[in-house]
Structure 1
Amino acid sequence: MKRIIAGLTVLLSAVLLVACQPSEKENVGDKKPTVTVTTSFLYDMVYQLAGDEVNRELIIPAGEDPHVYVAKSSDLKKLQTADLVLYHGLHFEGKMIEALEQSGVAVTKNIKNSDLNTMEEDGETILDPHFWFSIPLYKSAVEVASQELQKLIPAKADMVKENTKTYLTQLDELDKWIAKELSVIPAESRYLVTPHDAFNYFASSYDFTLYAPQGVSTDSEVANSDMIETVDLIVKHQIKAIFTESTTNPERMEKLQEAVKAKGGQVEVVSGHGKELFSDSLAPEGEDGDTFIDMYKHNVNLIVQHLK
């Protein structure tokens, strides 16, 4: 994750230099405050809690890969003019983390390290930043965002509180729905093979074994040893399907399929528009998976369809 959004480093450092200068914002009359967020997950979260009572600005567009995102000059303006900046934390934003720590609020700030999974990156053990695939951890992030929004729009604090209560209930219902839907997949078929290492929390929450030959970063090459290990796993357990992601190159999973075939096995590559798992981004607005809840349901439906 250290490589994520590296291009924002200089831009975000500039934010700190102008922090003490007069802001371009003019909160006149009933003008709505602006909340700038780093990802589509937070963009949706803010809407669920505050609705149209705030303007939202997004740094990384939905559907784009955070690992290879190239910063634009407009990103600086979004951060510079924001009344509130929300970001993931856990180093998901990579090299821009120092600037965000000084200018924004991490929605993961109340999550204990002991509640997080760990993963390997470049020979180091790091905290897994993909917390959103754990419903309890995601609820913690929602509560932090809610508190910040209540402070931002105090006149609407009761509305935010009520929306938060409703949303947390919906997330509890989602958790139960996920477990029920996945129950049709037998234990011997609960192997989830994806390109990069984003589904550890999902796997640990719902009793899956996860294999991701590409590792943490979507722009890394697959090591031969990881490829061989994954091929052997697929052949040994007769795994029916492996999955592509909306923000990764499907060709790498197709190569994995070819390697399985060379070993006498057979596996389906689940790919194509609308047939990819969402991992590091929601879908663009107006498409299936453009909210957190719909994203999760899309993923579960796809997994059940191909592994049951």
Structure 2
Amino acid sequence: MFRKLLMIIAVTMMTACAGNAGNMTSGPTEKSKKLNVVVTTSFLEDMVNVLAGDKVDTQLIIPAGEDPHTYEAKPEDNTKLQNADLVLYHGLHFEGKMIELLEAINAVSVSQNFDESKVGRMEEDGETVIDPHFWFDIDLYKQATKEAAKALQEKLPDLKDEIEENLQAYLKKLDELDTYNREQLNMIPADRRILITPHDAFNYFSRRYDITVKAPQGVSTDAELSNSDMAETAAYIVEHQIKAIFAETTTDPARMEKLKESCKAKGFDVTVVAGEGKELFSDSLAPKGQAGDTYIDMYRHNVDLIVSNLK
């Protein structure tokens, strides 16, 4: 109760001092002379860089490689949010531990205008939960990019045409990425188009490219992972003779090793695809300067890794 009270006080003070972070000013602060944009994840950092480049100052809250599902705002994050001209976040409860804070300052959710029929939902423990991993549906990612562009254009009217030009060029690149993904994934035989990952982050990917996905944990890494979930997944792997399962960059690889041992106990050997450069990106891009540090590079990496191990 005391911790919750402190958070409410902090949010109230931030709101009073900083005003509306989504609509704090009509443009850049005088101090920086550039629009100060704060984003929650590396996906959005890349998105803003594509749209506005060095015309804005972009600050990241959740470091690349960390898990947004479980990340809790630190005091320095509150300072970033307080000084922001614009705050962008995913929405759909992706930033689960920060959602009250983000909503309190009226940050802009890039998923706020999604068609509800396109938003994934799953049954977990008798409840319906929203799947926040929309970026694996390229059409939804394009819409999110348009939403970010609109927010930037409202803050930077003098750069409206430039941002629009960058947006249209990027949308074409995303279409090219979609074509590449389909061509590569079609190389996997029908009976091998099954992707096993640590948590349910790839359902939009499944829907778009007709790949069956299964994971021992739900859409959030904050969800409980039981022994029965592991046993059920192991039984599925053995039944379908799946030769490779994949680790993720933001989850503990030991989880998949445990799954491998469960399969071995049933008399079936499966390969864990893991290690540096051999893990799937799910909830984060790579740190800057590493392979997979942009959305397009991340997606191509994932597709290439999946195809090379399942075909």
TM-score, normalising length from structure 1?
0.92
TM superposition shift of 1:39: 0.6
8 Å contact from structure 2 (residues 194, 242) kept in 1: yes
SS in 2 for 1:68: coil
8 Å contact from structure 2 (residues 69, 96) kept in 1: no
What residue number does 2:196 align with?
Answer: 193
8 Å contact from structure 1 (residues 139, 168) kept in 2: yes
Matched, 1:207 2:206: no
Q: Distance in 1 between matches of 2:29 and 2:220?
A: 40
Q: Structure 1: any 5+ residue segments left out of the alignment?
A: 1-6
Q: Are the structure 2 counterparts of residues 69 and 193 from structure 1 closer, same or farther at C-alpha, using a change threshold of 3 Å? A: same
Deviation sequence 1:236-284 (CA, Å, 0-9, x none): 1111100000000011110110111111111100011111000010000
For 2:240, give the aligned amino acid.
H
8 Å contact from structure 1 (residues 8, 71) kept in 2: no
For 1:162, give the aligned amino acid.
E
Which residue, out of 266, 269, 275, partners 2:269? Answer: 266
275-284 vs 120-129, which deviates more?
A: 120-129
Matched, 1:57 2:59: yes
Q: Distance in 2 between matches of 1:103 and 1:69?
A: 19
8 Å contact from structure 1 (residues 196, 216) kept in 2: yes
What residue number does 2:153 align with?
Answer: 150
For 1:61, give the aligned amino acid.
P
Matched, 1:41 2:43: yes
Which residue, out of 85, 88, 91, partners 1:86? Answer: 88
Q: Are the structure 2 counterparts of residues 31 and 252 from structure 1 closer, same or farther at C-alpha, using a change threshold of 3 Å? A: same
Matched, 1:170 2:173: yes
Deviation sequence 1:53-91 (CA, Å, 0-9, x none): 000011101111123324221101111111111111111
Q: Distance in 2 between matches of 1:124 and 1:96?
A: 22
SS in 2 for 1:66: coil
Which residue, out of 98, 101, 109, partners 1:99? Answer: 101
8 Å contact from structure 2 (residues 52, 163) kept in 1: yes
Q: Structure 2: any 5+ residue segments left out of the alignment?
A: 1-5
Q: Are the structure 2 counterparts of residues 12 and 245 from structure 1 closer, same or farther at C-alpha, using a change threshold of 3 Å? A: farther
For 2:59, give the aligned amino acid.
E
For 1:59, give the aligned amino acid.
I
Matched, 1:291 2:291: no
8 Å contact from structure 1 (residues 63, 247) kept in 2: yes
For 1:180, give the aligned amino acid.
E
TM superposition shift of 1:232: 1.5
Identity of aligned residues (%): 59
Q: Distance in 1 between matches of 2:306 and 2:257?
A: 18
For 2:115, give the aligned amino acid.
K
Matched, 1:184 2:187: yes
Q: Are the structure 2 counterparts of residues 26 and 277 from structure 1 closer, same or farther at C-alpha, using a change threshold of 3 Å? A: closer
211-220 vs 151-160, which deviates more?
A: 211-220
TM superposition shift of 1:13: 4.8
Q: Are the structure 2 counterparts of residues 248 and 30 from structure 1 closer, same or farther at C-alpha, using a change threshold of 3 Å? A: closer
SS in 2 for 1:103: coil
For 2:275, give the aligned amino acid.
G
Q: Distance in 1 between matches of 2:209 and 2:192?
A: 13
Q: Distance in 1 between matches of 2:184 and 2:9?
A: 45
